[in-house]
Amino acid sequence: MPTPGGTFLRALDELSDAWSKGDDLGVRQASEKAWLAVVEATDSYLLAKHNISVPLDRTAHMERRKYLRATDRGDLEVTYGHLADTLHGDVFYFGESVGKNTMRTFLEEAADFIEQTTGVGGLQGVVQRITV
Average pLDDT along the chain? 89
Give pLDDT tens digits for 15-53: 999 999 999 899 889 999 999 999 999 999 999 999 999
Give the predicted TM-score (pTM) of the model: 0.91
Dump the DSSP string for 11-36.
Answer: HHHHHHHHHHHT-HHHHHHHHHHHHH
Contact 29, 18 (CB under 8 A): yes
Structural domain span for residue 55: 4-128
- Which pLDDT score, from 0 to 100, does residue 74 have? 86
Residue 101 scores a pLDDT above 60: yes
- Which pLDDT score, from 0 to 100, does residue 132 have? 56
Count structural domains, the chain: 1
Measured between alpha carbons, how far is 101 from 128 in angstroms, rounded to an integer? 10
- Which pLDDT score, from 0 to 100, does residue 95 have? 65
